[in-house]
Amino acid sequence: MINDLQMHTQNDAFCKKFIRGIDGALDWHKSFLSEKNMLKDITNWNFIDWPDEWKWDTKVGFGGIPFGSPKGYSSILNLQYVYTLKKVAEMYQEWGLVLKANAYQELANTIQEATMKACWDESKAMIADTPDKKTFSQHANLWVILNDMLPLEKRKEFMQKIIADKTLIQCTVYYKFYLFQAVKKAGIGNQYLEQLYPWKEMLDIGLTTFAERPEPTRSDCHAWSASPNYDLLATVLGIEPASSGFKTISIKPNLGKLKKASGQVPHPNGVIKVNYSINNEGGLEAEITLPEKTNRLFIWKDKEYIIRSGFQKFKI
């Protein structure tokens, strides 16, 4: 969360107030590191998501936890930790906390390698939920993409498989945020809009708020499934910070089948506004307004274009 805040705002002084809390959370998890260089037997409620396979357990008083938790090894819990360690390492490097950053990056590498060794199933070419390789999920395998565990040339095909394979334990609306980040990182962000069927089902049953999980849901108004509010801007319109403090801007639209899309995103120096349309020849027509004193990159069909501050109109 602090990394997200630091990327979108220019408020390092506020973010640095949380260093002690960040270190405490990471060190607490590290206390469960086993001799196999993986987290094991993590106590408390290790909630991940609400798929049917992770039912509520009346004996322990919680549900939504992956196989390998609370007793044993969970690739999901390990790879989430790896991802967080990497994000903190990036942040600490920028703040000049080099020794801490290097230590967290080294720990991330160690756990990632151990998890890959223990849980990767060569026959399925996927990572299993646990070292016994009996169950597989979208949850575990999306972290393969987000943690850069595959070569670039293999990511797109791998992610297509993770989306298409219905034998995998499926992400529900909460964890789809991370699934969609992996979809975008793998280079298939144009498929994002096609994946919004759970939210269309919410509309079909009359909801005007975001449900906690697929029916039967416990809560009809739950913030954790509100990720389309973010992704319609960051994925479809493609507006994201390319460096901390939004000092540099990346604009990479993923319009899918849309012919028109427009919107705006707040920026520390003003507002970013975009208006896209696809012409009859299949080309893109764009109107973009950028704040002053910003560096910016526009990406369309894997080609990069430098665009300037202020208003501009162009065709590709």
Domains and CATH numbers, the chain: 1-136 (1.50.10.10), 166-236 (no CATH), 238-316 (2.60.420.10)
Task: Name the band, by pLDDT with cuts 50, 70 and 90, for residue 169.
Answer: very high
* Eight-class DSSP state of 57: B
- 94, 142, 261, 294 from 242: Cα distances, Å: 14, 21, 22, 11
Q: Are 173 and 214 in contact (CB under 8 A)?
A: yes
Task: Name the band, by pLDDT with cuts 50, 70 and 90, for residue 215.
Answer: confident
Between 60 and 253, the more confident residue is: 253
| H/E segment holding residue 92 | helix 75-94
* pTM summary value: 0.95
> Once rounded to an integer, what is the mean pLDDT over residues 209-230?
92
Between 192 and 56, the more confident residue is: 192
Strand order in the sheet with 248-251: 239-241, 248-251, 295-300, 303-306
- pLDDT for 216 equals 86
For residue 295, pLDDT over 80 is answered with no
Averaged pLDDT score across all residues of the chain: 95
- pLDDT for 302 equals 87
Listed residue (275, 267, 261, 271) closest to 242, CA to CA: 267
Q: What share of the chain is helix, strand, coil (3-state, %, to 5)?
A: 40, 20, 40
Q: Which residues pair with 289 in a beta bridge?
A: 273, 311
> Once rounded to an integer, what is the mean pLDDT over residues 253-257?
96
